[in-house]
């Protein structure tokens, strides 16, 4: 037996693998829950323990919880569009970091992000290699629908399902077999309302959400329910949401955040920014103290603009700003 289940108490097993309780109930063993302090070996025979062990293995594989947690992703440089070596030979990003990707249109930002999502092994046009926790990753990160290294939040989000916000979140929570789904749904909804600045109810149809509300909902949903360790955000500056709080939420949930952006505020919020040109990573910049000081001024200007937008929505005149 791969796990010494017979040495564990019922309470420990249920805490570690919440889905076990329902499995036991479905097999007529629900009364085991009434003896939380008892060891499983006292309540199940060898065959039952073996079957349960196999079930846990299958569920962990499905949920992606039996793998070592992704702590860092490393991109090893390849070649530029003209075939010359990529100036940045290695870039490692860790959980909790925010990396901004900046460069002109057509410079290769999307190609870099695609290489990361594909977990490149020198088999893309750039010749880059991507490793996870310093190791060549398993093929599951490339081919299995159950494992996705990157969760993408695109600029344009259009819901087509005739569901309320609560129904949509319930559906996602059920598909992920989330523990305590109601707590997670409430947390997502609270965070989304804080991000959007335009309150919406749990019974609001998702098709009636504004662009900013939709983006806020999906950022909060990704933070809480997505198992992908890397989150890619495209053009968050146009979403009409609280950008700093959005990043704080994702970092709090132990995500690696990559942002393709042209917004100087976001670029200075990041821990580092990668400059892309000619299809290659040209350099990596850490914001200087002077830049951080400028960020305060930029935030003040941004807050002023947000205030003016709110006044316009409320029908006020802008004779004085």
103 in the same domain as 9: no
- Token digits of residue 20: 């076990």
Question: Do residues 221 and 267 both lie within one domain?
Answer: yes
The residue behind tokens 């499905």 is 62
Give the pLDDT band of residue 303 (cuts 50, 70, 90): confident
Q: Provide the pLDDT for residue 260.
A: 86
The C-alpha R_g of the chain, in whole angstroms, comes to 23
Task: Give the pTM.
Answer: 0.68
Verify that 59 and 174 share a domain, yes or no: no
Within this chain, do residues 9 and 105 fall inside the same structural domain, yes or no? Answer: no
Range of the domain at 33: 5-63
CATH number of the domain to which 237 belongs: 3.40.50.300
> Considering only 60-69, 113-122, 238-247, which range has the smallest mean pLDDT?
60-69
Short-list 124, 121, 243, 141, CA closest to 194: 243
Res 239: pLDDT:
54
Counted domains in the chain:
3
Task: Look at residue 237 in the predicted model and tell me its pLDDT.
Answer: 55
pLDDT for residue 157 is more than 90:
no
Confidence of residue 1 (pLDDT cuts 50, 70, 90): very low
- pLDDT of residue 162 exceeding 70, the answer is yes
Q: Are residues 90 and 226 in the same domain?
A: yes
pLDDT higher than threshold 70 for residue 160:
no
Note whether 141 and 118 are within 8 A (CB): no
pLDDT level of residue 255 (50, 70, 90 thresholds)? confident
3-class secondary-structure state, position 164:
strand
Residues 3-62 pLDDT 10s: 557 667 788 788 778 888 888 888 888 888 888 888 888 888 888 888 888 888 787 766
- Reference 264, options 318, 307, 212, 301; nearest CA is 301
Q: State whether 150 and 182 are in the same domain.
A: yes
Which pLDDT value is given to residue 167? 94
Q: Are both 159 and 183 inside the same structural domain? A: yes
So what's the pLDDT on residue 35?
87
pLDDT at 145: 64
Residue 78 has pLDDT above 90, yes or no: yes
Do 184 and 85 share a domain, yes or no?
Answer: yes
Looking at the structure, do residues 247 and 104 belong to the same domain, yes or no? yes
What is the rounded CA–CA span in Å between residue 30 and residue 42? 15
292 vs 67, 259, 271, 296, CA distance in Å?
A: 38, 18, 11, 7
Are the C-beta atoms of 268 and 98 separated by less than 8 Å? Answer: no
Q: Is the pLDDT of residue 274 over 90?
A: yes
- Residues 132 and 275 both lie in one domain: yes
Same-domain pairing of 36 and 180: no
Do residue 161 and residue 199 come from a single domain? yes
């Amino acid at each position: 037996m791969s796990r010494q289940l017979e040495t564990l108490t019922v309470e420990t097993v249920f805490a570690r693998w919440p889905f076990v309780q329902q499995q036991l109930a479905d097999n007529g063993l629900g009364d085991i829950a009434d003896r939380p302090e008892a060891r499983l070996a006292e309540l199940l025979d060898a065959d039952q323990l073996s079957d349960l062990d196999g079930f846990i293995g299958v569920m962990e594989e499905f949920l992606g919880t039996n793998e070592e947690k992704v702590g860092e992703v490393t991109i090893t440089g390849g070649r530029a569009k003209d075939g010359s070596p990529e100036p940045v030979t290695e870039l490692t990003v860790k959980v909790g970091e925010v990396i901004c990707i900046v460069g002109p249109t057509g410079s290769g930002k999307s190609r870099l992000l695609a290489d990361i999502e594909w977990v490149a092994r020198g088999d893309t046009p750039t010749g880059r290699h991507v490793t996870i926790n310093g190791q060549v990753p398993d093929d599951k990160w490339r081919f299995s629908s159950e494992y996705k290294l990157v969760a993408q939040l695109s600029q344009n989000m259009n819901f087509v399902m005739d569901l309320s916000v609560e129904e949509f979140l319930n559906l996602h929570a059920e598909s992920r077999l989330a523990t305590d789904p109601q707590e997670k749904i409430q947390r997502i909804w609270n965070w989304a309302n804080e991000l959007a600045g335009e309150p919406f109810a749990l019974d609001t149809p998702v098709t009636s959400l504004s662009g900013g509300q939709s983006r806020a909902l999906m950022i909060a949903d990704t933070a809480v329910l997505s198992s992908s360790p890397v989150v890619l955000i495209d053009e968050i500056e146009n979403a009409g949401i609280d950008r700093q709080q959005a990043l704080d939420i994702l970092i709090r949930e132990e995500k690696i955040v990559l942002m393709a952006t042209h917004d100087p505020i976001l670029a200075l919020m990041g821990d580092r920014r990668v400059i892309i040109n000619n299809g290659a990573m040209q350099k990596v910049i850490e914001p200087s103290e002077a830049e951080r000081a400028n960020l305060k001024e930029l935030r003040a200007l941004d807050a002023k603009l947000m205030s003016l937008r709110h006044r316009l929505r409320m029908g006020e005149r802008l004779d004085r700003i």
